[in-house]
Structure 1
Amino acid sequence: MSDTLRKTPLYDLHVELGAKMVPFAGYEMPVQFPAGVMKEHLQTRAAAGLFDVSHMGQVIVRSAQGYDEAALALETLVPVDLAGLPEGRQRYGFFTNDQGGILDDLMLANRGDHLFVVVNAACKAADIAHMQNGLPGCTVEEISDRALLALQGPQAEEVLAGILPGVRDMRFMDVAVFESSFGALWVSRSGYTGEDGFEISVETARAEELARALLAHDAVEPIGLGARDSLRLEAGLCLYGHDIDETTTPIEAALGWAIQKVRRRGGTREGGFPGAAVILDQLESGAPRQRVGLRPEGRAPMREGTELFETQGAGTAVGRVTSGAFGPTIGAPMSMGYVPAALASPGTGLHGDVRGKHMPVTVAKLPFTPANFKR
């Protein structure tokens, strides 16, 4: 393992628990524990799983004039309604470029007098520079002394309420700060699995202690990157750099739902973000291609990079798979990818080029597994 890779505060615990460590986004991360990806995936769906997501970026954005000014400033970089976001709530959003492409996707929370932003690990440095350069009236502070854990699954509330009883009152996408025996915990009721759950920011020095306390519960097992990927794919959630990137617009990526009415044409704060003309045109008229779910026949997944064809054994590729894996919950392979809008209806038959053979695949509705959030 390269000496240049960074370690999260839970690295020693992962090794102690028998994790297989791999390089990921500049960090040494657990891809799986001894139970294996399949069991870890099903554990999270049935009970609760604990994920180390400390590689993600945690950022605070402030304005001397308060939350409203900071929110309006950040709206110049994202097509999301932040000024109208109530205190104690968060939203999914994305940075866009002048062509309407996605620079990164992120979570944005109203924490009263500031915004708390969580960005992807691989984009962390670029995102922080983007905010520092694009928000001259604000302070942009990377939080470097806190770890980030995700507790996911139908028993996540029961487990975390044993430490923080107040989480029982939280709804999906609520955020709160709780005092605890592990110090101040910044909690959001959200995650990346399609299950109910929480993301918990904890002081670095207390992270292992908190993780051990959660893992001591009979319902909780440690979960690695492998199951994290199959869980999010079953849930129809995008992975940055694969399903979305600088060449995909939010509308192509089927993420138009994340652009609130006030930021659309005719809204009180219409546009004003990079690529607004492209994105708002596509919102009204549609995009030429669409991210879709794909269900291959048989048991073999169609992996990222598989080219898609309208006619078996003939013609030029019309699309491409961006993510693919076996879905333990659905008991079948699953993929996501991009196809022309005319071929994006569920039930449309296509063919994927798997090692030179054109194999049948059907466009499917997303998500593959229904979400289990607490509304």
Structure 2
Amino acid sequence: MNDTPPALLPLDSWHSAHGARMVPFAGYVMPIQYEGIIAEHLWTREQAGLFDVSHMGQLIVAGPEAEKGLESLLPADLAILDEGRLRYSLLLNEAGGIVDDLMITRRGDHWYVVVNGATRQKDIDYLREKLPRNVVVDHMKEQALLALQGPRAAAALERLVPGVDRLRFMTAGSFEFGGVTAWISRSGYTGEDGFEISIPAGRAATIADLIADQPEVKPIGLGARDSLRLEAGLPLHGHDLDPGITPVEADLVFAISKRRRGDGGFAGWPRILRELEEGPIRRRVGFVVEGRQPVREGALVVDGEGSEVGKVTSGGFSPTLETPIGMAYVPAASAAPGTAITLTQRGRIFRAEVVAMPFVPHRYQRKGTGI
């Protein structure tokens, strides 16, 4: 049992002053909502939402063998990644399981890596154990991380940081913002256009005030962040991903670059190659439930005899579509869109249909001059 009290975010007082309801999450006290999850969700889809994601682990990985060492653990082709370019990738174990999913950026003479808050220390320990001894893994504890997401995010941020709108999806750069140097990437985990902003923790409240003062922007909590990423079909580690699930099972084959599929050389390659060639036994799918009642994580997927054949890993009511949606692992034979599946939760039976993801189309800004 862990009796360590949750830590406070750099913006803890700021959240309370803005009326947030705070809850423990990933080792921190975090805002779950301000005015209500559905209202915050819809505002982000229509305007721009400001999220505090400072619980995420911001890491620097540096050293003469950093690229080679990281390619032994990630299926990404880092060799072709240009300065200021991001990749979504997966930290893998020797069995091909997903230790964590992450964002990695080539930044000068080092790699900037953002990992999930709940797995942060385990990731750091794993990297330090597996990478060459001359590679340094530094946890940037002094940095806060904000996310500004939504179709009006670029307009709001461009007003404060002239030139930031030149970034396109999955590119990043340094900008002067509120008297500090901020590292800003055009990325996020809501399916909307937006930015993630790394700043010194001591200036987080000042920066948050500047952003929140824009007419398009409202602070948004964890509850809406989860419903937004679910509508976008984006998996959450510890729920839809874990060390027993491979990238092929998780329908994340896009994260295995073309060169690495052929050359291999990363953790778990033999199993992943076999699944690429033969197909996995199970797959992550999206589904829509008949009726209005959501089916939550932990519900079972059952066959015609009532026997368990899969499990729901995320589920909830979609504010945008106004219907219950979710993700589950099902037998590969049941993974095609249009397949009817049966779910059971607390003794109740639910009928659902497998559908293609994302549930709500992504609206990333892929055009621009880049920086």
When normalised by structure 1's length, the TM-score is 0.95
User: 1:176 & 1:130 partners in 2: Cα distance?
Assistant: 28
User: 2:322 & 2:136 partners in 1: Cα distance?
Assistant: 48
Q: Do the aligned residues in 1 keep the contact of 2:60 with 2:137 (CA within 8 Å)? A: yes
Given the alignment, which residue of 134, 138, 145 partners 1:141?
138
Task: Confirm or deny that 1:40 pairs with 2:36.
Answer: no
Task: Confirm or deny that 1:130 pairs with 2:126.
Answer: yes
Q: Do the aligned residues in 2 keep the contact of 1:290 with 1:344 (CA within 8 Å)? A: yes
Paired AA for residue 297 in structure 2? E
User: 1:133 & 1:163 partners in 2: Cα distance?
Assistant: 41
Query: What's the counterpart of residue 261 of structure 2?
Result: 264
Question: Aligned with 1:162: secondary structure?
Answer: helix
Given the alignment, which residue of 332, 335, 342 partners 1:341?
332
Question: Aligned with 2:240: secondary structure?
Answer: coil
Per-residue deviation, residues 276-308 of structure 1 (Å, max 9, x unmatched): 100121112211110000101011111001111
Show the 5 A alignment for 1:117-266.
117-135=113-131, 136-265=133-262
Question: Aligned with 2:146: secondary structure?
Answer: strand
State the shift of 1:57 in Å: 0.4
Paired AA for residue 16 in structure 1? A
User: 1:3 & 1:91 partners in 2: Cα distance?
Assistant: 34
User: 1:138 & 1:85 partners in 2: Cα distance?
Assistant: 19
CA RMSD of aligned residues (A): 1.1
Question: Aligned with 1:318: secondary structure?
Answer: strand
Q: Do the aligned residues in 2 keep the contact of 1:182 with 1:209 (CA within 8 Å)? A: no
* Identity in percent: 51
Q: Do the aligned residues in 2 keep the contact of 1:8 with 1:28 (CA within 8 Å)? A: yes
Paired AA for residue 286 in structure 2? G
Paired AA for residue 317 in structure 1? E
Query: What's the counterpart of residue 107 of structure 1?
Result: 103
State the shift of 1:3 in Å: 7.0
Task: Confirm or deny that 1:323 pairs with 2:305.
Answer: no
State the shift of 1:228 in Å: 0.4
Query: What's the counterpart of residue 30 of structure 1?
Result: 31
Q: Do the aligned residues in 1 keep the contact of 2:178 with 2:206 (CA within 8 Å)? A: no
Query: What's the counterpart of residue 369 of structure 2?
Result: none
User: 1:180 & 1:321 partners in 2: Cα distance?
Assistant: 42
Task: Confirm or deny that 1:367 pairs with 2:362.
Answer: no
Task: Confirm or deny that 1:298 pairs with 2:294.
Answer: no
User: 2:323 & 2:363 partners in 1: Cα distance?
Assistant: 20
State the shift of 1:180 in Å: 2.7
The gaps in structure 1 that reach 5 residues or longer are none
Per-residue deviation, residues 101-133 of structure 1 (Å, max 9, x unmatched): 100110000112110000011111111111112
When normalised by structure 2's length, the TM-score is 0.96
Per-residue deviation, residues 194-243 of structure 1 (Å, max 9, x unmatched): 00000000111110000011000111001000000000000000000000
Query: What's the counterpart of residue 273 of structure 2?
Result: 280
State the shift of 1:317 in Å: 1.4
Q: Do the aligned residues in 2 keep the contact of 1:102 with 1:250 (CA within 8 Å)? A: yes
Paired AA for residue 88 in structure 1? G
Paired AA for residue 13 in structure 1? W
